[in-house]
A and B are shown apart, each in its own frame.
Chain A
Amino acid sequence: METFKHLVNILAHPTIMLTVGMLVFLFFFPPNDWFEKWNRRLRLNFLWTKKGFYFVMFLMVVFFLFGLTDPNFSLIIKKPDNVPIIGLIFFVFIFLWISMNQALKNDNLIEAGEKPEEYNDPEDKVLVWPDLVYIEFIALILCMSLLLIWSIGLEAPLEGPANPAESPNPSKAPWYFLGLQEMLVYFDPWLAGVVFPSLIILGLMAIPYLDTNPEGAGYYSYKQRRLAIPIYLFGWMILWVALIVIGTFLRGPNWNFFGPFEFWDLHKLVPLTNINLSEIIYIKWFNRGLPENILVREIFGFLIVFGYFLLLPPLLAKTAFKKLHQNLGNFKFGFFIFLLLCMLSLPIKMYLRWLFNLKYLIAIPEFFFNI
């Protein structure tokens, strides 16, 4: 048991967990032929069958039940604050399973030259009154009673009186913001707190204008939307849900990483010294002091950032996204690729921090400008 817990603690380190998670993600949601080949070979679509559903649900339940027996992990699980997140983990999987299950059924039908299931469904239309309103009404009552039971059964997670001089340790945002809080660890506040959240909303609003693929409208399908689904799910599952889970289960006192079965030691020593790119280049490589001039000092960071946003789009338009570029045209494609690169900059920055202790690519504290 102890070795198992130890193993989980090691695997839970975000560097390992996120890497494994992203790789596994690509195989489960293959964006191109190569991954799809492996997806087939490994029979990963088993997950989206009924058996796969019970299998995963069983694993998750067993894991949490086992977690309850551990003195450290049970503290996290039982905390009233964290109940929604355990619910979130289950619900995300359930809804994902429902849509993927249907999508794969349809994919098979389409492959066999038939129409997707939704076409043959005589009841694919629901009358607003009374059918839909009744369903909504019942859902409303169920939610109300659930909330009532919840609020009676679990004590509100109140803390001591507010004190402007002390911050609780660790200070966690409400659970739905934990992803943003995790993002704040890697970026300057104006980026992680203002620019990126706005871009997320903007990007979600832009989806119908950018995703003009007429296939898959009105029915579930994975194969016909092999680009749209992985991109969206990457942002949702990895960059939002997974970060919330990390923030809940793995962030402890002093905002250090802790394995789920690890004791929250206030004095856990994590040797970390973050340095800026300019310091790495000038001091470590060139063996000299930082130049006085801000622009000269940060020139490498600027080059990297400009290269990332100006060189990558045309490159991708010629290679990986060739077809998309033709369909969308320059303007829409540019917008799309900008959003995509912004999204990818988060994991990139996380890895840079974890692997190289890199703090900021461009660091101009004089003007509050850090990237």
Chain B
Amino acid sequence: MIMNEEGKKEQTVSGNELGQGSTPTGPTLKEKVRKKEASASIGKGTFEEEISRRSFFSWLTIAWIAFSAATVAFFAMMMRFMFPNVLFEPPQSFKVGYPKDYTVGQVDVRWKSKHGIWIIRSPEYIYALSTICTHLGCKPNWLENEQKFKCPCHGSGFRKTGINFEGPAPRPLERFKIVLADDGQILVDKTKIFQYEKGQWNDPESYLVV
């Protein structure tokens, strides 16, 4: 840098050595700190000398505690994140109306989005099918024309009974416990599942005789 005028030179120098030298206008940061130190601990020597072995450790302890606290707080917040304020958790057991509400031979899709079940009434009984594909858990659609459930993800197909017959799904859809409540309504309990491949569809709770 070429400096011709006095003023410019001074400016440049102070600019270059910011934080080390002093500006003509006021005390630097370090000087301020020094002054403060001096007023805080009179007669104890300069700032640099002040960090003894002992105080170093106490500083370290404080820093370490602060660091650990921050870390703990961080992980606590992260754990808090695991428990959202709003949970999509519809009740696991619920009433779905009276048996006469269901037409024979029809697949009732009314409860699919709310409770994740299809209610199917065959001539003899009513059963509740899970809407979760047994392949990877997508939600199949009921196709009335084809009379089958068809999964949009990898094309698994299930018959009205829930039996898998096309695509990769390895086992039939699950059925839920279905009973009559005291008031005559149908009560579905999703906590109890019945799997065909384990022979559980013969369980009297897995269907409702009407």
- Tell me the dominant secondary structure on chain B's binding face: loop
Contact B154 A184 (CB under 8 A): yes
A360–B135 alpha-carbon span in the complex (Å) = 13
- Tell me the dominant secondary structure on chain A's binding face: loop
Instruction: Using CB atoms, name the residue of chain A closest to B153.
Output: A171
Nearest CB in chain B: distance from A204 CB, A: 25
Please encode chain A, from 140 to 181, with 1 for each CB lying within 8 Å of some chain B CB and 0 for all others: 000000000000000000000001111111110000000001
B138 in the interface (beta carbon within 8 A): yes
Residues of chain A within 8 A (CB-CB) of B136 are 184, 189, 193
Please encode chain B, from 137 to 175, with 1 for each CB lying within 8 Å of some chain A CB and 0 for all others: 011110101100011111101000000011110110000
Please encode chain A, from 348 to 367, with 1 for each CB lying within 8 Å of some chain B CB and 0 for all others: 00000000000110010110
Instruction: Using CB atoms, name the residue of chain B closest to A273.
Output: B165
Q: Of A166, A186, A254, A366, which contacts B150 at CB under 8 A? A: A254
Instruction: Using CB atoms, name the residue of chain A closest to B116.
Output: A165
Instruction: Using CB atoms, name the residue of chain B closest to A360.
Output: B170
Contact A169 B152 (CB under 8 A): yes
* Number of A residues with CB within 8 Å of any CB on chain B: 33
Residues 166-210 of B at the A interface (beta carbon under 8 Å): 166-168, 170-171, 197-198
Knowing A254-B150, A255-B153, A256-B155 are in contact, say whether A167-B170 is a contact too (CB < 8 A): no
B88 in the interface (beta carbon within 8 A): yes
Nearest CB in chain A: distance from B177 CB, A: 20
Residues of chain B within 8 A (CB-CB) of A184 are 135-136, 154, 168
Residues of chain B within 8 A (CB-CB) of A187 are 168
Instruction: Using CB atoms, name the residue of chain B closest to A169.
Output: B152
Number of A-B contacts (CB under 8 A): 82
Q: Of A167, A269, A360, A366, which contacts B138 at CB under 8 A? A: A167
Residues of chain A within 8 A (CB-CB) of B157 are 272
Q: Of A185, A269, A273, A363, which contacts B155 at CB under 8 A? A: A185
A326 in the interface (beta carbon within 8 A): no
Q: Size band of the B side of the interface?
A: 20 to 34
Residues of chain B within 8 A (CB-CB) of A188 are 168, 170
Please encode chain A, from 287 to 318, with 1 for each CB lying within 8 Å of some chain B CB and 0 for all others: 00000000000000000000000000000000
Residues of chain B within 8 A (CB-CB) of A181 are 153-154
Knowing A189-B135, A267-B143 are in contact, say whether A370-B170 is a contact too (CB < 8 A): yes
A230 in the interface (beta carbon within 8 A): no
A80 in the interface (beta carbon within 8 A): no
Contact B170 A368 (CB under 8 A): yes
A112–B119 alpha-carbon span in the complex (Å) = 77
Contact B167 A167 (CB under 8 A): no
Write 7 A-B pairs (CB below 8 A) sorted by A numbering.
A164-B139, A168-B152, A169-B141, A188-B168, A255-B152, A255-B167, A363-B170
Instruction: List the 4 closest pairs (A to B, CB-CB), nearest first.
Output: A255-B155, A165-B113, A169-B152, A365-B171
Residue numbers of B with Cβ under 8 A of A are 88, 112-114, 116, 131, 135-136, 138-141, 143, 145-146, 150-155, 157, 165-168, 170-171, 197-198
